[in-house]
Amino acid sequence: MDTSHERLFRLPFKLPTSVSAKKVCVYVAGALYGAGLWSFLDCVLYSKHANGSDLHISFIDWVPMLCSVLGMAIVSSIEKNRLLQDALSSGTFTGSQSTAWQARVVLFLGFSLLASGISGSLVVLIVKFLLKDYTSYPTLGMGINNVLANLAILLSCTMLWIGQNVEDEYNYSLTL
């Protein structure tokens, strides 16, 4: 599978093999997670130490971030091979049907937590910052950072998912 793709371009540029692509995906996912975490901590620390306005970060701003982190933990802890196998075999194994349903429900919960995290941060940005005329930048930056943090965690979860699926394809082509 990999050797057929190897001389695709004329330039001395090799398509990354799926193992190194997987590694890079996981590294990038970790870096994005760190970026999200520190972006959120930035708005919290800024509100505490360098705030020029009377608007402060309260627990409301923490809620979307907690949703995102929890959702990512749920989505990443699902065993995706199980889900894939059930999708492929499409219910011929009746014994694994209940676990497939459990996996679907839990995965749905995780994704909805992620989505509610990002939409919640947008709601906080609009209701707490924009509607109350805090539209100048150093104050608005706290809300923007919150949205960026949730976005980075969503992207991190996506990269991790992509990385694990790349690995699964690789294993599939190896074991057959």
Asked if 125 is part of the footprint of another protein (rule: CB under 8 A), the reply reads: no
Residue ranges in 21-40 that form contacts with another protein under rule CB under 8 A: 23, 26-35, 37-39
| Tokens describing residue 8 | 């695709």
Is residue 160 at the binding interface for another protein, with CB under 8 A as the rule? Answer: yes
- Report the residue from 19, 60, 87, 131 that binds another protein according to the rule CB under 8 A: 19
- Residue list 60-99, contact with another protein (CB under 8 A): 81
Two tokens, residue 121: 């941060």
31: number of Cβ within 10 Å: 13
Cβ closer to another protein: 42 or 99? 42
The answer to whether residue 163 forms part of the interface with another protein (CB under 8 A) is yes
Which CB, 46 or 111, lies closer to another protein? Answer: 46
User: Smallest Cα–Cα separation from 141: which of 65, 26, 53?
Assistant: 53
Phi, psi of 14 (to 5 degrees): -100, 135
